[in-house]
Amino acid sequence: MPSGTGKDVANGGNSVEEKNRVALVAVSSSLSYSFCSVSMVMSNKLLAFTYKSDMAFLVVVGQCLVATILVEAVRRMGYASYDPFNFSTARRWLPVSICFSAMLFTSFKALEVMNVPMVTVFKNLTNIVIVTGDWWFFQQAASWLVMFSMAVMVFGALFASYNDLDFNPWGYFWMVANCCTTAGYVLYMKHATKSIKLPRFGMVFYNNLLTTCLLTPAAFMMGDFTIFWTTPQLRTVTYMTALLFSGVVGVLLNFASLWCVGATSATTYAVVGSVNVIPTALLGYQLFDSAISTQMGEFMLVSMIGGFMYSFAKLQEKRSLERTRPPVMPLPSPTSALESHMSKAEKLLLEPTTKADQTADHNA
């Protein structure tokens, strides 16, 4: 009897320790994803607003070059898995990368003239274009709750822009362009991944490599390199560190996304992605002295609530779909625990998610 009691106590202690460990990993992964997501927006705003250099092409090229080198180094160290560069794969993936390039460029241009809170609010409107595209191209109907949440988002965003104290027509032009190009990227990638099988970090590698190749000639033609060499404040340690950080955090965001989904669930990942708009908007308001009236703030809050409702509605749709699917018994695989987590996460991240496939703010 004493022996059995001792074993029970030991097992109970191990169970508590295991629960604490799982909880710690879940919290750490969620915080890491949130930190990287917010940092990506803040670093881009720093580069676009603080250094008024008007060389968006070169900045995006620099970020993508850093990301390409880093993700390839990670692959060679064994922390990411995808096949080495293949010209045929690159040629087939090129249309996706063109959309990706346009998404990054328009996002940076919008941040040059719009404040972070308004950019954050308008990012939600990308979901409306995606839902419309899903209905038009993939015959995916939206539920009434999705439609209602989108109406709330549009209502809040329109009245927030009407009360925008820093209204700039070019800013809204680039923001609308970013919503369209982001939606185009997400929708085309859904089509492309049916015929081109690439792991998540393979997509990151080809997107950033091809974007570097596509936008470097544009940077030369638009005089971005000349601006860089003739502007002393751009050739400083501070600026180069900010540029390097933005490229590194873009790759880290992909790792954090995989870690968050693998350690928690797609639901938690979606909720964290929705909640991220709050610290992003608040930090953008504080760090960059955004002019926000009371009415503008109220309507921005309405639009954010619509974003939360949209996330909830899409999760409900996903759960309903999963209940109607027949159960599939997975085959045993001799993978490590880490590889198992990454595989699970990649599968979940490649499914339609609740916030524009979580691709709007980072190099995915």
What are the tokens at 196? 């081109």
Please provide the DSSP assignment of 209-274 as one string.
Answer: HHHHHHHHHHHHHTTHHHHHHH-GGGSSHHHHHHHHHHHHHHHHHHHHHHHHHHHS-HHHHHHHHH
Is the pLDDT confidence value at 59 over 60?
A: yes
User: Which pLDDT does position 3 carry in this prediction?
Assistant: 54
Contacts of 303 (CB under 8 A, 6+ apart): 121, 124, 152, 153, 155, 156, 157, 160
> Do residues 262 and 341 touch, judged by C-beta distance below 8 A?
yes
User: Which pLDDT does position 244 carry in this prediction?
Assistant: 92
- Return the DSSP state at 48: I
pLDDT digits (tens, 9 = 90+) for 270-321: 778 778 888 888 888 888 877 788 888 889 899 889 888 888 888 887 777 7
The residue-averaged pLDDT of 325-336 equals: 44
> Do residues 106 and 181 touch, judged by C-beta distance below 8 A?
yes
> Do residues 178 and 103 touch, judged by C-beta distance below 8 A?
yes
What is the distance between the alpha carbons of residues 318 and 308, in angstroms, rounded to a whole number? Answer: 15
What are the tokens at 170? 């070019």
> Do residues 150 and 93 touch, judged by C-beta distance below 8 A?
no
Residue 296, class by beta-carbon neighbours within 10 Å (0-12 exposed, 13-18 middle, 19+ buried)? buried
Q: pTM score, two decimals?
A: 0.80
List b or e across 91-127, with b for residues whose CB sees 16 or more CB atoms inside 10 angstroms: eebebbbbbbbbbbbbbbbbbbbbbbbbbbbbbbbbb
What is the distance between the alpha carbons of residues 48 and 139, in angstroms, rounded to a whole number? Answer: 39
What is the distance between the alpha carbons of residues 35 and 257, in angstroms, rounded to a whole number? Answer: 11
Helices (H), 139-168: 144-162
User: In what helix (H) or strand (E) does residue 360 lie, and over which residues does it extend?
Assistant: none
pLDDT digits (tens, 9 = 90+) for 12-58: 556 778 878 888 888 888 899 899 989 999 998 888 877 766 788 99
Confidence of residue 326 (pLDDT cuts 50, 70, 90): low
> Do residues 148 and 95 touch, judged by C-beta distance below 8 A?
no
User: Which pLDDT does position 77 carry in this prediction?
Assistant: 92
